[in-house]
């Protein structure tokens, strides 16, 4: 079998490769969010996400309440979480420490090599998408983390997952096949 592409977070599923099903309330929808809906659908989902904090937006109180509630649900259900984190890295890291989560994946990671190192030291994964790969300091972060903690994604971009892998392989100076195998193994490590 050819190693499949893993697209850990997409809003435009293609039906090709691995595109884990998720359930979650996005921080932008926290004010209207209903935790009961997540509780109801968490069973068949592979991931609780995308959830998190976005401090460029108002409603921090609602965001915190919904985020914590979903972390609790993910912990209870034994599901990995996919995180949206904007201008809220410290707060996110502080909250994560309070839960025993199966796996934590920062999606669309944009940040410094120092932040990446802290997330890795805490045992977390980082996922990079088209926007991440256009940010020079984030590309430095990509090159600095162990590939055993790496995922790739298309998020809401019209890009194909194949093109994201090709760009990451070039930036990492790594053969595409080896990158595919590494990320597939990361996927199996978390989900099986």
Residue closer to Zn ion by CB (options 19, 50) is 50
Task: In angstroms, give the least distance from the CB of 70 to Zn ion.
Answer: 15
- Whole-angstrom distance, CA of residue 6 vs CA of residue 156: 15
Q: Supply the minimum distance, in Å, between the C-beta of residue 50 and Zn ion.
A: 5
Looking at the Cβ atoms of 50 and 54, the one nearer to Zn ion is 50
Quote the least distance from Cβ 108 to Zn ion, whole Å: 6
The Cα 155–Cα 11 span in angstroms is 6
Angle at 108 between CA 11 and CA 142, to 5 degrees: 140
CA distance 136 to 4: 28
29 vs 68, which CB is nearer to Zn ion? 29
What CA–CA distance (Å, rounded) separates 125 from 107?
A: 9
Residue (69 or 129) nearer to Zn ion, CB: 129
177 backbone φψ class: left, alpha, beta (φ>0; ψ -120 to 50)? alpha
CB of 2 to Zn ion, least distance (A): 27
Contact footprint for Zn ion (CB under 5 A): 50, 155
Q: Give the residue closest to Zn ion by C-beta.
A: 155
Q: Which one, 19 or 155, has the nearer CB to Zn ion?
A: 155
- What are the CA-CA distances from residue 183 to residues 80, 96, 175 (Å)? 16, 23, 13
**Least Å from the CB of residue 55 to Zn ion:** 17
């Amino acid at each position: 079998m050819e190693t499949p592409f893993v697209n850990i977070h997409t809003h435009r599923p293609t039906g090709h490769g691995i595109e884990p099903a998720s359930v979650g309330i996005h921080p932008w929808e926290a004010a209207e969010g209903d935790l009961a809906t997540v509780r109801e659908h968490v069973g068949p989902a592979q991931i609780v996400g995308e959830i998190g904090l976005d401090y460029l937006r108002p409603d921090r109180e609602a965001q915190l309440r919904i985020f914590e509630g979903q972390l609790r649900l993910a912990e209870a259900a034994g599901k990995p979480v996919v995180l949206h984190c904007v201008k809220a890295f410290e707060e996110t890291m502080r909250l994560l420490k309070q839960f025993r989560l199966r796996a934590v994946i920062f999606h669309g990671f944009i940040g410094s090599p120092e932040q990446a190192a802290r997330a890795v030291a805490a045992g977390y994964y980082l996922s990079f998408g088209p926007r991440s790969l256009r940010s020079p300091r984030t590309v430095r972060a990509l090159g600095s983390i162990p590939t055993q903690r790496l995922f790739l994604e298309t998020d809401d971009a019209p890009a194909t997952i194949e093109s994201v892998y090709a760009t990451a392989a070039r930036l990492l100076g790594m053969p595409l096949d080896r990158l595919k195998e590494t990320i597939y193994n990361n996927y199996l490590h978390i989900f099986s």
